[in-house]
Structures are given as C-alpha cells and as structure tokens.
Structure 1
Amino acid sequence: MLKPSHLLLGTLLSCSVANAQIFQRELGDFDLKLGTTPSRSMAQGLVKPASTGSFHGGLDLSHDSGFYAGQWAPSMGLSPGANLEVDSYLGFKQPFDNTLGYEVGMIHYSYPKVDTLDSQEFFGGLTFLGSRFGAAFSNDPDKQNSTVFADLGGNQPFGIGISMKYTTHQLNTPASVDGGYIGSFTDWSVQLSRPFMGVDLNLIYSDSSLSGSDCSAYSGHNSQCDGLVTLKAERPFY
C-alpha cells in the first residue's frame, strides 16, 4: 500500500561565476575549477545531498596523476533558515580505459555557524560506460549511514538522466516513539533529470521505512519522512 505523496514545486536560483557555471584553468600539472555546478561525480553530495540553497558553489583542484581535493558549499547560509555548510573532500580517480574507471575518497562535512559536531564520509565507486555505481559509509554524531548509489548517465532514454540511492541508518541511541523504540531505519530516492531551454529540471521521489508517529525518529537524507514528490527547476543567473 503506497503512502500518500505530496507535491512540492521549488525554483532554485544559483549565482554563477562564469558561463556554463564553471570557470576552469590549468596550473601546470593541476586543473583548477571554480563554479556553481559540482565538478566531482562522487565527492560532493553523493550520499548526503543537503538541500541546495539559492547561493552555492565551490572549487576543485585535480592533478594529472588522479589525485584531487576541493571544497563545496551546498548552502552559503544567506537565505532565511539556511545554515552555512562546507564539504571538504580528498580523493583519487583513475580510468582503466575509456569505458571503465574507479574512484575512492573521503568527505568532511562542517557547519561553521552551527553548534554541531562535524562528520566524515568514505566513498568509492565504479564508472562503466558513462554510468556510475557507488557505495559509502559515514559516521555522523548520532548515527552511522551505509549507502549504495547508481547514476545511469550512460543510458539516458529520451535524454532523461536517472539516479537512485538507498541508505541504511543505524542510530547510536534508539529513539523513543509511541509503542517502543527505533534503532534503525532506511530511506531512498529516485531522481529524473533533464535540461530544457537552459533550465535543469529534476523530478525526485523520496520515501523511508518509517510512517505515522514513527517519523518522529527520522533524521535521514530526505527532506521528509513520508513519501514526497519534488519538482525542482534550476537556472544560473549568467
């Protein structure tokens, strides 16, 4: 039996530093990127995609050997109710050939203006024929999260990108709910994306294993415990 879903329509505006949302420059053996579009396939937001604020951006520095490092801020904390978040990452990416490659790394999540502990995440994945398959483990202050992820970018019917994510959350301390305690739960999401006349359109369905009064224990990746359908339209200023 399906849970009732809600429809949320949001338009997100991003402040761009250059055309195509990315400024790129070579510095010897290094490649520097600045922009409002994430430049890493598995680093920023692979399994912890904080809701992107109206103003966001970051930088990425990579070496010809495959090592890379960077920072990404999904929210600059300028909008009411939004907090500054800085995700610092370090990793290594190497293709075996033109069709197969791998990537491993770690991310450090910090919230400079909020009195909360930072968290870390380790990730790894394979790229095959343009599609990405990844897994990650993160150690948050209140729980541990294990995630599997798939982005079927190598096969886009009608130009529509498809990505899926499934996460298991294990609470350090069981949460009290009506009728007992909850020590773990799962959540998942499916996203369809397609560019249209310069606008990035995204249709997202998310849900979790909790419902009703049990949702008081929910603290997962989705913005809502129950089933939620979200339509996002994003376009850069320049």
Structure 2
Amino acid sequence: MKKFTRSAVSTAAIAAMSTGGLALSSTASAELSANIGVVSNYLFRGVTQTDDSAAIQGGIDFEHDSGFYAGTWASNVDFGDDTGYELDLYLGFAGELANGIGYDVGYVYYAYPDSSESIDFGEIYGEVSFDMLKAGLAYTVNSDNDDDLFDTGDLYYYIGADIPLPEDFALGLTLGYYDFDIDGKDGVKASYGHFAASLVKDAASYGEFSFNLEYADIGEMDALGSSNSDDLKVWVGWSKTF
C-alpha cells in the first residue's frame, strides 16, 4: 500500500511539499496551507496504489517558525477490494544547522478508514540533506498487518538529489530499498530496490507540473507482483498550494 512524507520519502507527496500558504497572526510566525493535486498514477515507492489509474489528492499543512509541522493528506486508492481512499496524518520537526546540514524527523500514520480489513500502519522517518543531496529512512513502528507486508519492523531507506535547473525546472532523483520484515519467511520474496526520477516545472500561480519515471525491482512471483512487476512506470502530475 502506500505515500511519503513531507521530506520526500516518496513522490506521492509532491503537493504536500510545496511552499506557500496563509500566514497566521501570533507572537511567533506560523503558516497554514492547503494543497491539491492530480496524478495519472499514484505510486508509493514504485508500487501503484490505484491499479495504474489516476488519483485526486490533497491536504492541509501547518508549519511553525520553530520547525514544527503537522498535516493531513488524502488520496483515492484501488487495491482490488473495497478500500477506496487513504488518509495520512503526520507531524514532525525540520530545520537547518549552522553548517548547512538540513534535517527532518517525524511520524506518519497511513489510514484506510473504509477498508473492511485492518491495514493501517505508522512510520517514524528521518532525513538529512546538504546542498542538493539527501539521505533518509522510514521505519514501521506500529501496524495492523501482523506477519504481512507493511508490518512492524519494515524499513525503507534511500539516497537522492534535488537539482535546480534553468527556467524554474528542477530534477529529482531517488534510489531506495524497501526491506520487508517478512522477506524470506516461508519462501516469500518481498523486499525490492526502487528508482525514481522527476522533472518538475514551477509555473508560479498555475502550480507545479511534473513528469516522472519510476522503477521497482519486483518479479511477477514476488509478494508485490502482478501490476507492479518489473516494468518502468511513467506518470505525470499537477499540484498547487494555497
């Protein structure tokens, strides 16, 4: 299943990572923003969440000058059952040290309120960055999925780069690995490598447009096989923050 985090643990949160919003009056500066997005395919770490179909997504974010942030984000999903949407809740703390090293740590809870099965789970995540480079991980700390995918103990880690280009373009690159706790048990092959590349155009008041390539090293007989198997995914997206 799954999105994210604010720090780009996955590309599903492009809208949530955009800047801008409505300033709130207080002694310390704070900001409230909303975002909306449309994607031709919702992928979470290289795995489609919509059976290769489009998704409408959106959320609300609160950010404080101290570095604290919190928010919620939602998207339609299609897992081939009665689950119709995903609702994420997250909070964290982000900032930059005097030497230019950035950091982002937090917790995200992935919920599926209309699912007939209990498949919710939560992760703690952390990312460090310097200039254009970044590295991070997400660890599943609580889950309703006992002895299954997205169970407690799963780990996703990655390295990447965000490269500014002329004319308000940017190139994002991510290389990651999803290490599932059930991998190898009873002959199950679940863990896989993941690569993503995104070309993003900031069109100012018109929002952001992106062209994305993603590949997950998943075989047809693996736990996440079928429509996610070993082929390059190409998707486009648009997002705007208010």
TM over 0.5: yes
Q: Larger Cα Rg: Structure 1 or Structure 2?
A: 1
Cα distance, 1:69–1:26 mapped onto 2, change above 3 Å: same
Question: Which residue, out of 172, 182, 206, partners 1:171?
Answer: 182
1:121-160 matched pairs, under 5 angstroms: 121-138=123-140, 139-140=142-143, 141=145, 142=148, 143=151, 144-154=153-163, 159-160=170-171
1:50-89 matched pairs, under 5 angstroms: 51=49, 53-75=54-76, 83-89=84-90
Cα distance in 1 for residues equivalent to 2:70 and 2:77: 20
Q: Which residue of 2 aligns with 1:6?
A: none
Q: Which residue of 2 aligns with 1:192?
A: 197
Q: Which residue of 1 aligns with 2:234?
A: 231
Cα distance in 1 for residues equivalent to 2:183 and 2:116: 19
Deviation, structure 1 residue 236 = 5.4
Deviation, structure 1 residue 151 = 2.5
Are the counterparts in 2 of residues 23 and 35 from structure 1 also a CA contact under 8 Å? no
Deviation, structure 1 residue 116 = 2.8
3-state SS, counterpart of residue 228 of structure 1 = coil
Deviation, structure 1 residue 231 = 1.1
Q: Which residue of 1 aligns with 2:212?
A: 202
Cα distance, 1:165–1:232 mapped onto 2, change above 3 Å: same
List runs of 5+ in structure 2 lacking aligned partners.
1-14, 38-42
- Give the total of aligned pairs: 198
1:97-116 matched pairs, under 5 angstroms: 97=98, 99-116=100-117
Q: Which residue of 2 aligns with 1:27?
A: 24
Q: Deviations over 1:3-41 (max 9, x none)?
A: xxxxxxxxxxxxx9xxxx87611113221110125xxxx
Deviation, structure 1 residue 99 = 2.7
Greater RCO between the two (CA within 8 Å, min separation 6)? 1
Cα distance, 1:188–1:155 mapped onto 2, change above 3 Å: farther
Deviation, structure 1 residue 115 = 2.0
Q: Which residue of 2 aligns with 1:94?
A: 95
Cα distance in 2 for residues equivalent to 1:101 and 1:22: 17
**Share of identical aligned residues, percent?**
25
Q: Which residue of 1 aligns with 2:172?
A: 161
Higher strand share: 1
Aligned partner of 1:202: which letter?
N
Are the counterparts in 1 of residues 138 and 155 from structure 2 also a CA contact under 8 Å? yes
3-state SS, counterpart of residue 235 of structure 1 = strand
List runs of 5+ in structure 1 lacking aligned partners.
1-15, 38-44, 175-180
1:5-16 matched pairs, under 5 angstroms: none
Q: Deviations over 1:182-219 (max 9, x none)?
A: 256311211111136874111111113xx45x42xx14
Deviation, structure 1 residue 101 = 1.4
